[in-house]
Amino acid sequence: MNSSPPHIRDSKSNHLITLARWMSGDFSNYKQAFENPKDYAHIHVLFRPLPFEFFSGIGLYSEQVYDYDLWRPYRQGVHRLVDRGDEIYIENYSLKNALIYAGAARELSILKTITPDCIARRYHCSMIFKREGDRFIGAVESGNLCLIEKNGCQTYLDSYVEITQTTWVSLDRGLDVNTHEQVWGSTFGALRFEKREGFAHEVPNIL
């Protein structure tokens, strides 16, 4: 049986591959943190492509880490990219026993230990991206139902992302489900990252 990825001929589907390749890398906000150390910590956002077989499609593993503690990520996830024609829908998954897989974005030997049995879907927390010129603009799906409890307060995620081939801009905020006031997240504006290393060549070639 041929297990090779199917060919995609629809030109809009190229956007999915382009987005996956642009997302795949080690992004750092070093410049922002250096210029404003009181307001911004030095953070890395890393996305590493998963094998085609994981989702029978395009998937990514992600970590967010402080530069001073690279092997202890404060956020980890798995993401499945779905082509919806005029938009790219990214399903988000959490990892069971996530710390077991810490460093998987840097070490492929760890990445290979992640299986579909290790993850659980985070419903209502998917991101929707659209191509706009030389960038993709994304936001969490509508409904205010991506719930996160912080400090005993129930919040919903408000997330905005802007991606180019070499940059990543994001603003995540947690808003109170009742008052809609900000409870957590940056109060100084978006985080601005530049790609330091790319992993685009690891994205399965399904074009």
Q: For position 12, what pLDDT does the model report?
A: 52
Q: For position 206, what pLDDT does the model report?
A: 74
Q: For position 3, what pLDDT does the model report?
A: 43
Q: For position 68, what pLDDT does the model report?
A: 94
pLDDT mean for each 10 residues of the chain (207 residues):
42 82 98 95 97 97 96 96 96 96 97 97 97 97 95 94 98 95 92 97 85
* pLDDT tens, residue by residue, 129-183: 999 999 999 999 999 999 999 988 999 999 999 999 999 999 999 999 999 999 9
Q: Using an 8 Å Cβ cutoff, are 18 and 11 in contact?
A: no
pTM of the model: 0.90
Fold that domain 13-197 belongs to in CATH = Lipocalin (2.40.128)
Domain range annotation of the chain: 13-197
Q: For position 92, what pLDDT does the model report?
A: 98
Q: For position 187, what pLDDT does the model report?
A: 87
Q: For position 151, what pLDDT does the model report?
A: 84
Write out the H or E segment, with its range, that includes residue 66. Answer: strand 59-66
Structure tokens at 93: 């998954």
**49: closest CA among 65, 66, 30, 26?**
26
**168: closest CA among 31, 66, 6, 1?**
31
Rounded CA gap, 203 and 48, in Å? 8
Residue with tokens 């041929």: 2
Angle at 181 between CA 175 and CA 182, to 5 degrees: 55
